[in-house]
A and B are shown apart, each in its own frame.
Chain A
């Protein structure tokens, strides 16, 4: 079959138009399909939402040993945190340390005695610029849209880069199977397994149900929790009123946990 130039261009042009029209149709169908899949997953209407969750630790309200133990126990119990009974294997979501260790560079020889002997409650700072997320080779640890630094234990390979990167020591490694060392297993929350790194998750599973973190609930007002980017939140109201400090802010990780240093009258 012979074809002149004019005939060829006609057929090619018609073919192009048909092809483009078909492509458009195809794209519209797939878009709809994807939408249908996405809509299958929603949030609980009672869930608490925020752009960046944050916490204020009011040291003035930590008066007795019991005040610390109450929040640590509440957290470790619901999250199935094991107690190996030795500091080398210790797993900690909330723990305590001295002022000098919590705020290195801020201590000096003439600190008031009450501050020298005071324990500071510590937890993951849920940094806005978290070094642990940057170094994770498998993206097991990640930043969720509500500002929580989360850990996906399904994906963690136990390389411990995040532990080396975290300047706050907020991460612990499971050197051994934690199961036998959990006194009372909470049937509603998973445990971890040997070979993964774990840490505080700001009670993301509770926020999804509209509950505040367990430690905040148990703290009797010593821990204040809210959205740092909402000017009316509880956290922002406290930050507006009180002088607060953050741990190692000079490192540029932008922590989301603030401390009100005080409590001299308690000692």
Chain B
């Protein structure tokens, strides 16, 4: 009888640790969001609404602020840290430049395992098949 108990424990441990040993040694590809959309290429000064580091870290907070400002307070223009103004709109401002949702948004979101529900309602830009 004891034999079966030991076999059971071994099988259990193998199954439980499967996610760890099955990927050991294999490094996940680092996400590399692409910025080479036609709109961005056209920009003389390749700058987002705020500095790159800020956007990397805080874009989700900024988007939340934008949403509340536009919808709740009726203020639909954003003045950035350099004094430049932008229309507050995910579809008409953010995605006009970043027209490559798959290679820009999804690249990191998939890696980080987050699934923001922006696109349940907001319309993602049309991406042609094979377009980077």
Which residue of the partner chain, among A43, A150, A154, A191, contacts B77 with CB atoms under 8 Å? A43
Contact B123 A41 (CB under 8 A): no
Distance of A192 Cα from B85 Cα, bound (Å): 28
CB atoms of A44 and B121 under 8 A apart = no
Would you call B71 and A188 a contact (CB within 8 A)? no
The contact string, 1 if C-beta is below 8 Å from chain B, for chain A 1-27, is: 000000000000000000000000000
**Contact yes or no, A44 B77, CB < 8 A:** yes
Determine the main DSSP class of B at the interface with A: mixed
The A contact surface, by secondary structure, is loop
Interface stretch, picked from A126-134, A140-148, A157-165, A216-224, is A140-148
**Complex formed: what's the CA distance from A40 to B69 in Å?**
10
Most buried by A among B75, B87, B126: B75
* Chain B contacts with A in 55-112, Cβ cutoff 8 A: 65, 67, 69-80, 85, 87-88, 91-92
**Cα distance A192–B120 in the bound complex, in angstroms:** 7
Asked whether A41 and B71 contact (CB < 8 A) given A185-B123, A187-B125, A191-B123, the answer is no
Report chain B residues within 8 Å CB of A47.
Answer: 76
- Given A41-B69, A188-B91, A190-B91, A144-B79 contact (CB < 8 Å): no
Please, which residue of chain B has its CB at the minimum distance from the CB of A188?
B92
Q: Is A189 an interface residue (CB 8 A)?
A: yes
Q: How many B residues are at the interface, by size bracket?
A: 20 to 34
Let me know if A208 and B121 touch, CB within 8 A. Answer: no
Alpha-carbon distance between A146 and B80 when the two chains are bound, in angstroms: 26
Min distance, Cβ B44 to any Cβ of chain A, angstroms: 24
**Is B47 part of the contact surface with A, judged by Cβ < 8 Å?**
no
Which residue of chain B has its CB nearest to the CB of A151?
B71
Check B122 for interface membership: any CB of A closer than 8 A. yes
* A147 to B: closest C-beta gap in Å: 11
Please measure, in the bound complex, the distance between the C-alpha atom of A190 and the C-alpha atom of B94, giving whole angstroms. Answer: 14
**Given contact pairs A41-B73, A152-B71, a sample of 5 additional A-B residue pairs in the complex whose CB atoms are under 8 Å apart:** A42-B75, A44-B77, A142-B72, A144-B72, A193-B121
